[in-house]
A and B are shown apart, each in its own frame.
Chain A
Amino acid sequence: MNVLYALYADPETAQSAVDSLHAASSELKFDERQIVIVSGEPHEGYDFADAHLASSPYRWAVLGAVVGGTAGYLLTTLTQTSYPIITGAMSITPGWTNGIIVYEMTMLGAILTTLVTLLIGAGLPNFKGVITDPEIWMGKILVGVADAPESSQPELERCLLEAGATQVKQFSGASH
């Protein structure tokens, strides 16, 4: 992966760079999905950050909780009914005490699903082609275009510089 990018000191200028890239995408023959934004911290309240808002992780967590709770119910009831336990006239599968296991398994299901949802949603793990620049950890925001056509690169550089960058850099796809 080759990325032509520039670093911006604040989210406002980064946003204007992203806006210019969006505007120029069809003219410079690259897809909007090729625009790369990387920062060392989240920036709420900007279009480039909020474009990825999603509510699906909450739904998946609820589904995970249901699956976990069902697994807990099956674990307690099936194991207790599948073996001749002498219970001294108590019920084989008492709801009160099994409920504790079911509750814990429900929460475990939600927690594990949240982890899986994050990993899938964030594309992790991904050890190939991690684009980074030491300056992003100093507060800069990286905005660029991945695998842009060579013919449009001079125009792309101009676009990035006009948005407020002082320098345009190139990243070539080694894994990090």
Chain B
Amino acid sequence: MQRTAEQIEQDLVWPIFHTSTKYKVAVALASCLVLAGVAVYGYQIWAGIGVWGLNSPVFWAFDITNFVFWIGISHAGTLISAILRLCNATWRRPVTRCAEAITVFSIIIGATIPLCHIGRPWLAYWMIPYPNQRGIWPNFRSPLAWDFFAISTYLTGSVIFLYLPTIPDFATARDAATGLRKKIFRAFALGWQGTPRQWQRLEIAMHIMAIAIVPVAVSVHTIVSWDFSMTLVPMWHSTIFGPYFVVGAIFSGIAALILTMALLRKFLHLEEYLQPIHFNNLGKLLLTMSLLWFYFTFAERLTTWYGNTPSEMDVFWQTIRLHFAPMFWTMVFCNFIIPMPLLAIKRLRTITGTAIASCTILVGMWLERFLIIVPALDHKFLRYTWGTYRPTWVEDTLMAASFGLMTLLYLLFTKFVPMISIWEMKVGLQPHGGGIITTAPSHGKHHGLILEGPLPTDVPE
């Protein structure tokens, strides 16, 4: 199978201008979920936050679980893309934009959850540090204030990191479009021409962004972990939480990326671009993260068990063999037992295999966040304060709506931007491009712009 530069452009711009029935159905379903979420949120504002299942001693549950889950998913994109860019991994080219888009949308969703939780979002400005008559002064010692700065920086950086390499592709779409679309693409292309000076500046900017965004990404989930570890709740006050959360975030992020890539490949007909080698490589990365996740989970549990502090052991046994045990062991199965053979055995590390492993990992990682938060709050130091938590239909609907919103935003994005960077794919056609794209034998002065794939013949489909 061979692709020329012209075909690459046609293949990747095509999904923007052609809408299938399946796409419309998917948009309708996702919109229904989002509308349900909006309606339920309206009801919550009218009735008050008491419609959630929160009560003493559990004041954080589904909302913070979803917050940590979505911020974790956001590590799929910008961090992985930045690392692959810095390593000059040529196989990254079809992967990066899918990944970066996941980051932007999941941070947006994650950031809206605290707004829901504050109950009266129209008073959110009270958190801004300015002299006021209420005598309230936001405290920079609060990890929640750190969250605000970390997430704002990561969101800003991720939007820029997604947008910059998209500018030349907007220019491509601008020249292919007509009518209103042309005007929209023209605005987003910012008058991009493609002069050598512009290309040089763009590549330098992407390099600086990649350097800057990696430590920001690591700091974001570390700071999210500090929301918990800075308190004296049993099994939260742990020095391992920072790296544990970062590993978990990258783990769930890669799973989300693989699943998204598998869906894009199927529905946008990107089989020639998202090839088995990409799933194979990301599958290996996922395998590594699965092992790391197991190591951190084991280390955390072992340290708690060996210390045998009564308050911590109460939470420990709740998760290992009492009330939360079914969830805990489901988590272990989803994050480790099921993915292990699918990712470790080369024959099973196919597109389907990695997608199945990713599905189970996403379930497992959501459970992990829940199990970090709720059992610890349920069983704090004094036994007479113990309580239980059950989510209400309002929380269930809002959670479903967050998944619907992610799907909807992503679907709309595919109609707006080529999901694979066209110009970066063309760079791969150049003699030094390497990776899965190679040049055909030259005939005279013409380079013979050819895409050959799949390259490694031993990668299972």
Contacts and interface: CB of A to CB of B under 8 A. Distances in A.
A82 interface: yes
B168 interface: yes
A131 B193 contact: yes
Contacts of A124: 167, 190-192, 198
Interface range for A:
35 or more
B160 A115 contact: yes
Contact of B205 (A10, A103, A114): A114
A101 interface: yes
B199 A42 contact: yes
B6 A138 contact: yes
A108 B186 CA distance: 28
Contacts of A164: 445
B174 A176 contact: yes
A108 B164 contact: no
A8 B195 CA distance: 14
Contact of B146 (A80, A101, A112): A101
Contacts, number: 191
Nearest to A46: B196
A139 B449 contact: yes
B172 interface: yes
A72 B6 CA distance: 48
Output the residue of A10, A49, A119 with the most chain B CB within 10 A. A10
B208 A114 contact: yes
B156 A37 contact: no
Contacts of B221: none
Given A9-B446, A111-B156, A139 B426 contact: yes
A73 to B, nearest CB: 11
A94 B176 CA distance: 56
A12 B445 contact: yes
Contacts of A139: 4-6, 426, 429, 447, 449
A122 B149 contact: no
Contacts of A49: 196, 199-200
Interface stretch (B112-120, B212-220, B282-290, B387-395): B212-220
A52 to B, nearest CB: 4
A100 B156 contact: no
Given A42-B427, A97-B146, A100-B146, A121 B197 contact: yes
Contacts of A41: 168, 194, 199, 423, 426-427, 430
B205 to A, nearest CB: 4
A57 B6 contact: no
Contacts of B426: 40-41, 139
Contact of B150 (A12, A104, A119): A104
A137 B203 contact: no
A157 B436 CA distance: 39
A114 B191 contact: no
Nearest to A164: B445
B201 interface: yes
B446 A10 contact: yes
B137 A83 contact: yes
A136 B326 CA distance: 59
Contact of A137 (B152, B175, B427): B175
Interface in A105-161: 105, 107-108, 110-112, 114-115, 117-119, 121-128, 130-132, 134, 136-139
B63 interface: no
Please name the 5 residue pairs, one residue from A and one from B, whose CB atoms are nearest each other, closest first. Answer: A42-B199, A139-B5, A126-B191, A118-B205, A125-B190
